Amino acid sequence: MEITCLVWARVLLNLVYKFVDKSITSHGVPPFQIPHMHFVEASLAIEHVTSEFDGARAFLLEEVIGGDEGHFRKYLNNVLAAPVSFTNEDDEEQAEFLAFSQHVQYFKTKKMAFIADYQGGNSILSDPQIITDSALGYIFAEGNVPSSHQSFETHHRCNHFCKFF
């Protein structure tokens, strides 16, 4: 399930950047920087089985989040659609942008899905959860918390990214 979440998270985050690019083209450049973040590159590796008695093992191989990415931090969890508070302005700005990205995803998917559990370094993110409307059934990992989807509009607070775009 982790690779499924990662693939969908990449698509949903790209949806946000396309929305931002289109908005800038039609409405102009915002008076603030847009953080450029992406999810880790990943591959699925399946072990070659040499015997009928051995079961093949599968491994998820992910890009290393190096030291130049700064400390590992959690920007948003998968319980509430509210960013973590930071004392560092850059971290705070990235958390606000990622909260905005949830807003875009939620409405662009007609309130069906958004990324949660945003975490990682300065620009590389890993281990996302996809939160979906319970009507879709169990299609993502156990971190898909139904109450988080149900309470999105209550807990999300629009920020300067939401207001500009």
Domains for the chain: give ranges and CATH numbers: 2-164 (3.20.200.10)
Q: Please give the pLDDT value at position 135.
A: 83
Q: Please give the pLDDT value at position 66.
A: 87
Q: Please give the pLDDT value at position 137.
A: 74
Supply the angle between the helices 2-27 and 89-108 in degrees, to the nearest 10.
Answer: 90
pLDDT by position in tens, the chain (length 165)? 788 889 999 999 999 999 999 999 999 999 999 999 999 999 889 988 877 777 788 898 988 888 899 999 999 988 888 999 999 999 999 999 999 999 999 999 999 999 999 999 999 999 999 988 888 877 776 656 677 888 899 999 999 999 999
| Amino acid identity at 53 | F
Strands 42-46 and 58-62, how do they pair?
A: antiparallel
Report the predicted TM-score, pTM, of the whole model to 2 decimal places.
0.89
Q: Please give the pLDDT value at position 138.
A: 75
Residues linked to residue 129 through DSSP beta bridges, in sequence order: 116
- Closest to 116 in 3D by CA, of 97, 102, 136: 102
Q: Please give the pLDDT value at position 143.
A: 58
Contacts of 62 (CB under 8 A, 6+ apart): 40, 41, 42, 126
CA–CA separation, 121 vs 66, rounded Å? 8
